Amino acid sequence: MTFLPFAKTILRSLTRKYATQAYPRAPMPKAPIVRGQVGIDVETCVFCGICSKKCPTGAIRVDRAAKEWEIGRHGCIVCGACVELCPKKCLHMSPELTPPSVAPVKDTVSAGA
């Protein structure tokens, strides 16, 4: 039986670089394939609801009468189906990542705002 069987692993870990990113101090590098999040141009939207019908997770809600568009950011899987099917091309994929939060985030956009 050896004294401190993990001593070799501990010493090796002390001399190497970190395996993880120092996220708060150093921003995460963005991969070229990252889609980011869904954005909307409210001025061109006609609130037809095709995006909410074709969303595989049901993360998008459109209220045509109130002229409101809402997306549940924690339910969105960023597949881009809504962007491809939008007849007015008012939806787009923005490269910014969704900001971190502890509660479910819903972005509500209305035509009057």
Residue 70: beta bridge partners?
61, 108
Using DSSP, state whether 107 is helix, strand or coil: strand
2-43 pLDDT, tens digit per residue, is 667 788 888 888 888 877 777 667 776 777 777 788 999 989
**Per-residue model confidence (pLDDT) at position 18:** 76
The band of 81, judged by pLDDT with boundaries at 50, 70 and 90, is very high
What digits encode the pLDDT tens for the residues 40-56? 998 999 999 999 999 99
CATH number of 28-110: 3.30.70.3270
For the entire predicted model, the pTM comes to 0.62
Domain regions of the chain by residue span: 28-110
- Amino acid (1-letter code) at residue 60: I
